[in-house]
Structure 1
């Protein structure tokens, strides 16, 4: 996908953000929040200068133009006066609507999916991340070919068995995109195999996996850095982290775990990206414990939490995997809100009030992680033959051996291990 900003010669692109409010008046507060999030998305994309933003009430969606003629004329004047070059519409915009609005307003149009794709394209750092973005962008672009070639579509020849130049051009473009999609999928298959090898290598040292999930900009990466000593990019910006990062961490009681930081979730995540980035969230799907990090200082924290839970369900996260809620950014709460949040945390063993910036509450969280992971441990007695030296060495390497007794045929070993370690031992 050719990035919209690459078409600008120099300087910042002046943008205007619109949130079409197609709900009733009671939802206006939610619309205001949605607009603020859309502006944050725009701020997250380098090269943009947000010249203005507004909620546009939309009693009825117009099939060809989205908005009514009067609102289109009103907005056209506003965009002209503000010297706007790009309009970001926080919602789905059909190819026909996009073409008509661009013609009416004389500006470029980008809908919510296109904007998030732009951000992901700018941020993806790993080879797989770049390929996943390209795949999602091509899938998105394929549905919008009509935008560039509508003026030729009516030039059909003969009885319709042979397409005219417009149809030919569209089909040629579609074939080119389809070929590119096939090529990228083949490349992705190679990267997936590489990742599987890495996962297999980690499985030989089967530490429990603890995955951090949460709404974008909830403070996951800041918390991840504090827990692991890593230097993942931390910025007050949506989608500051795209590519998953993993680190081995030794908890205070000596238990070693693998901590995984993941891409932040967001409401109305484009379908193409849910599918494309499912592979990068594999660590969440295979996690032994999930830390759901919330920005408790955010006015829509509860709504964001619902979105995260829904996306985890859509991804197929096992409902039996334990989840701890981490109410982060408590340092940004006023005294009354902090007292209320503390009371709720005191009454809920699965809820922790933290500040990744100051470190408040982090020790209690780590203790709970250790307790929860060790709670799944069981003690068992294994009989190993003298020929099972590799398996015996593995057990000692995992530090799960409580005692060992030599027998006539080999060794009787008492171990205390978790389900992950037991599963890996059985595969040896």
Structure 2
């Protein structure tokens, strides 16, 4: 199994190269919209009833006309270049990958039943892909791009030895250009196994993150704090004439402000993930498998999307893999209603109730800290087998294939009596 990584670098094209890149993006946008139009016309022509047509309009396409699939539209590109010579300015593989992007979105739409691809407006296509690039195309400060020449690149970190450059994607973000270089190697990295001390984390809006070791990390309000300035910039943009020079200046300011919010949020997520993995004794991190789509539609949807829990969990999983820390997600149901000491259900809590107090064993702590402890216990239960990590957890009783030892039975009886049980012994 090969290892594939994406490295992002800053590009610095000159004025002529930047104008050519912008022209390529518009040509690809036109080909994307034309191919999507063919697919929509073919689909609409199959919607009418067999015995009658629509009163207003109808799409007249032969009944035996095949569906305009990827290979059919890709094979039509050479003939299209003869009719529209402007298509020849773009590298042929870039046009092919652009059509591939459309059909990936179409297949994804058919698979899940929603998310129909839309026509892209002016400036909405932000990236182009070069699926093949020469292994020696990248030097210390330049990258050789087909039909574009040598472009300055800030190679702030060198490509590791043993990796081969596979493809290059150029992205336009506001007024800056970025190059995402995909590298591949045949090196085999073993899967991280559970080891060391376990930590459970609980994500929330009052506190961004709470660990089972009583560490509380606040939540910066990336979008909310900068929303006032964004509203001002968007109001100025709405008063400009479209496609004018002043409109483009105002649009670039709005785009830069959006990128500033996104970059600061992503930077914070990376720093938090590295902070959790910085302790060498931490070998396992467990988090809740949250229903992020449902959370983003609730009463606190703006604050939930501002926190970007999904992006943080993806970053945390990658950082754990890089640092050799085991990462897993557990069932999130009832983590705030379960006592981490006696494992009894304490009932539903309002959002305003920030203290967990068990009526059975008397255990009292912060609500988020109690939930993080429950997440940790569920994570250990998820990976628990006899003798693993040198610990036996009381919450692992009842797992298939695991016998109930004397220590577990004693802990189970103590919890039913309402007494506190001791924490798991560390390896």
Greater Rg, structure 1 or structure 2?
2
TM over 0.5: no
Scaled by the length of structure 2, the TM-score of the pair is 0.27
Between structures 1 and 2, the one with greater helix share: 1
Higher relative contact order (CA 8 A, sep 6+): 2
